[in-house]
Amino acid sequence: MAERKIRILMAKPGLDGHDRGVKVVARALRDAGFEVIYTGLHQTPEMIANAAVQEGVDAVGLSVLSGAHNTLFPAVIEALKQKGASSVTVFGGGIIPEEDMTFLRNKGVMAVFTPGTSTEEIISFVRGNIKSVH
C-alpha cells in the first residue's frame, strides 16, 4: 500500500487582506513535503468548506488577522460538518488573544498559532497531529 501524502488547505476567511503570514506558512509546509492548496483572500466559510471537500484535504489552516476569529473559525467548522467533512482537522493562526484560545479549542480548533510562532513549530504540529482522514 502506498503512503498517503498529506494535503492541507490554507485559507483566509473574512475581510482582512493581509496574506503574508499565510503565504509564509504555505511555503514552509511545502518545503516540509506537504501538498498545500491556497485559495486566496476574502473567502466565506462556505467557500472554504467546498474547496476542502473537493480537494480531499486532511486539514484546513485558517489565517485571520481581523479579530473576527471567534466568528469565522467556528463557522468554517460548522460548514465542514454540514458537508459531511467533520473529520477534517482545523487549525489556525493570527492575532488571537490568550483569552479566546479556550473558546476556539472548545469549538473544535485543534491548534492556534499566534505571532512569533516559528514555522518549525507549525510543521511539527502538522507532522504530529494531522493524519490522513481518507
Residue of 15, 17, 24, 33 that binds other proteins (CB under 8 A): 33
Residue of 14, 21, 24, 32 that binds other proteins (CB under 8 A): 32
Residue spans of alpha helices (H) in 1-134: 20-31, 45-55, 69-82, 98-106, 119-129
Strand 35-38 relative to strand 7-11, pairing: parallel
- Minimum CB distance to other proteins, residue 72 (Å): 16
Residue of 27, 81, 108, 110 that binds other proteins (CB under 8 A): 27
The three cell numbers locating residue 134? 481518507
Contact between 81 and other proteins per CB under 8 A = no
The three cell numbers locating residue 113? 498559532
In the block, cell 460548514 appears at 79
Closest to other proteins by CB, 70 vs 119, is 119
DSSP tag of 65: -
Residue of 15, 17, 24, 31 that binds other proteins (CB under 8 A): 31
Interatomic CA distance for residues 80 and 89, integer angstroms? 10
Give the residues lining the site for other proteins (CB under 8 A).
1-5, 7, 26-27, 29-40, 43-44, 46-47, 50-51, 53-56, 83-85, 134
